[in-house]
Amino acid sequence: MDDKLIDNLVEQVLSKVKEEIFIGVEASGRHVHLSRECIDILFGKGYELTKVKELSQPGQFACKERVTLIGPKGSMANVVVLGPERKDTQVEISATDALILGLKVPVRESGDVKGSSGILIVGEKSAVKLEEGTIIAKRHIHLTPKDAKKFKVNDKENVKVQVLGSRKLIFDDVAIRVSEHFNSKMHIDYDEANACGFKNGILARIIK
């Protein structure tokens, strides 16, 4: 058999295996989701966020707008705002960020901000002092119902996942989120990304 034909067949088989077994991984840096009330305070009454880049999850996007986060021990400038606006403002940082800012921040799933850490957010027009709303996002996997069935997992289940980076690593307690509105991806923060030698295009597999 022709060598080129063999190479093509091997590539097709490997591609199919990856499609069936693995899931893509994305690393999320610090960012802020803003409520309508906070947008009005930080950028002006009636201000509309400026979309500059679509994200992997449908309807989510990075904005031109940036804010500064201030904690008891430090600050972080040029923090990206993600859209669209939300009902409640949520700040997502890493454990390393929390140390720099001087905050005790809980690990939570997105949206679970009750009793979480407060923070000061400074925008172009003014500032907002949150009494709660700052979290370290729990590592998680977004899945379509079809992919959840393929991987044999259920919504709200917690699983073990092996990330195949240059420092191959198994993450425990990874939350599964299932919705027909999702694009199937695993999300980790930059601390976790550094731990597993993350690079764009990295893959992971659910091992339960």
User: Is 119 a domain residue?
Assistant: yes
Q: Domain ends where: 137, 152, 167?
A: 137
Based on the domain organization, do 40 and 120 belong to the same domain?
A: yes
∠ CA 80-100-66, rounded to 5°: 15
Amino acid 172: pLDDT:
97
> In this structure, are residues 174 and 186 in contact, taking their beta carbons and an 8 Å threshold?
yes
Task: Give, for all 208 residues of the chain, the pLDDT tens digit.
Answer: 566 666 666 565 455 545 558 999 999 999 999 999 999 999 999 999 999 999 999 999 999 999 999 999 999 999 999 999 999 999 999 999 999 999 999 999 999 999 999 999 999 999 999 999 999 999 999 999 999 999 999 999 999 999 998 899 999 999 999 999 999 999 999 999 999 999 999 999 999 8
Q: How many CB atoms are located within 10 Å of the residue 187 CB?
A: 21
User: Is 182 a domain residue?
Assistant: yes
Amino acid 138: pLDDT:
98
Based on the domain organization, do 132 and 151 belong to the same domain?
A: no
In residues, how long is the chain?
A: 208
Residue 84 preceded by cis peptide, ω within 30: yes
Question: Residue 102 corresponds to which amino acid?
Answer: G
Count how many domains the chain has: 2
- As given in the structure block, the two tokens for residue 20 are 């069936």
Token pair 């695993």: residue: 186
Based on the domain organization, do 104 and 48 belong to the same domain?
A: yes
Task: Find residue 134's DSSP bridge partners.
Answer: 91, 117
Amino acid 9: pLDDT:
61
Amino acid 81: pLDDT:
98
Q: What are phi and psi of 166, to 5 degrees?
A: -70, -20
Amino acid 11: pLDDT:
62
> In this structure, are residues 171 and 139 in contact, taking their beta carbons and an 8 Å threshold?
yes
∠ CA 15-21-27, rounded to 5°: 90
Based on the domain organization, do 146 and 115 belong to the same domain?
A: no
Based on the domain organization, do 113 and 149 belong to the same domain?
A: no
> In this structure, are residues 119 and 103 in contact, taking their beta carbons and an 8 Å threshold?
yes
Q: How many CB atoms are located within 10 Å of the residue 47 CB?
A: 16
> In this structure, are residues 175 and 109 in contact, taking their beta carbons and an 8 Å threshold?
yes
**Segments forming the whole domain that contains residue 185:** 23-27+139-206
Based on the domain organization, do 51 and 76 belong to the same domain?
A: yes
Question: Could you please report the per-residue DSSP string of 145-174?
Answer: HHHHHHHT--TT-EEEEEE-STT-EEEEEE
